[in-house]
Amino acid sequence: MSSRLIVALDFPDTERALSFVALLSPADCKLKVGFELFVAGGPDFVRSLVDLGFDVFLDLKFHDIPNTVAGACRAAAKLGVWMINVHAAGGDKMMRFARESLSGLENPPYLIAVTVLTSMDAEQLHQTGVMADSPDDQVKHLAKLTRESGLDGVVCSAQEARMLRETLGNDFLLVTPGIRPEGSQQGDQSRVMTPEAANAVGVDYVVVGRPVTQSDDPLAVIAQINQALL
């Protein structure tokens, strides 16, 4: 069974990232590359992870005019990555263009959308002009729009997973950052959950960064999380 754990490579440079990845097996986890590491290492770094056999989630959260996002998604797919994402706030047309850009590819990556960043609470949403009563309301609205636009799923907080599963069904991917094993520090995430609790509410994949990458025994933490997701 393929691992449902995505390890976020929270490193500022490729040397430290590759040193850490050398400890891992593609059978035990997938990998997430975000802005910092992508800017540091570029497409060649992403290709190197794919060549090592890892499923790679390229987490660049594309958000621009539809044609630009479509071109970026197609370019990302050519790197051989397993998953890419866009911001649902870009709207239906942008997301449909992104979806269409992947049509015809032999092995297209999953295409998912970010709803509300897990670092944001209601007050921060209101500061941006979103007048939803709570992050849950905005997440539900954007997740419905994402599904209507033909995407494969969303990035969301595990705290919204049960609501989204009931609303959108079982064939819609829920990818959840803000996952913290019991005893881990919360860091800059506002809405967090343990792997066990996330599994119980129906998430498909959990994203874990610093609790793994900054651990004295990352393989033990990975094994613990994989066990919790069985």
Out of 30, 55, 61, 204, pick the active-site residue: 61
Q: What are phi and psi of 117, to 5 degrees?
A: -55, 140
pLDDT in tens, 140-162: 999 999 999 999 999 988 888 99
Cα separation, 75 vs 159, whole angstroms: 33
On whether 213 is known to bind a ligand per the annotation, the reply is no
On whether 60 is known to bind a ligand per the annotation, the reply is yes
On whether 66 is known to bind a ligand per the annotation, the reply is yes
Is residue 62 classed exposed, middle or buried when 0-12, 13-18 and 19+ CB atoms within 10 A define those classes?
Answer: buried
On whether 185 is known to bind a ligand per the annotation, the reply is no
Give the per-residue pLDDT at 164. 95
Beta bridge partners of 173: 153
DSSP string, 139-177: HHHHHHHHHHTT-SEEE--GGGHHHHHHHH-TTSEEEE-
How many domains would you assign to the chain?
1
pLDDT in tens, 48-84: 999 999 999 999 999 999 999 999 999 999 999 999 9
93 classed as catalytic: no
pLDDT in tens, 85-95: 999 999 999 99
**What is the CATH classification number for the domain harbouring 69?**
3.20.20.70
133 classed as catalytic: no
pLDDT in tens, 101-155: 999 899 999 999 999 887 777 888 888 888 777 778 889 999 999 999 999 999 9
On whether 64 is known to bind a ligand per the annotation, the reply is yes
Confidence of residue 188 (pLDDT cuts 50, 70, 90): very low
44 classed as catalytic: no
Give the per-residue pLDDT at 146. 98
pLDDT, average across residues 181-204: 75
Cα separation, 83 vs 207, whole angstroms: 13
Confidence of residue 185 (pLDDT cuts 50, 70, 90): low
Q: Does residue 180 register a pLDDT over 90?
A: no
Give the per-residue pLDDT at 37. 97
In this structure, what token pair is assigned to residue 104?
Answer: 């015809």
Cα separation, 226 vs 189, whole angstroms: 21
Domain that holds residue 148: 5-228
Three-state SS at 21? helix
Out of 13, 28, 51, 64, pick the active-site residue: 64
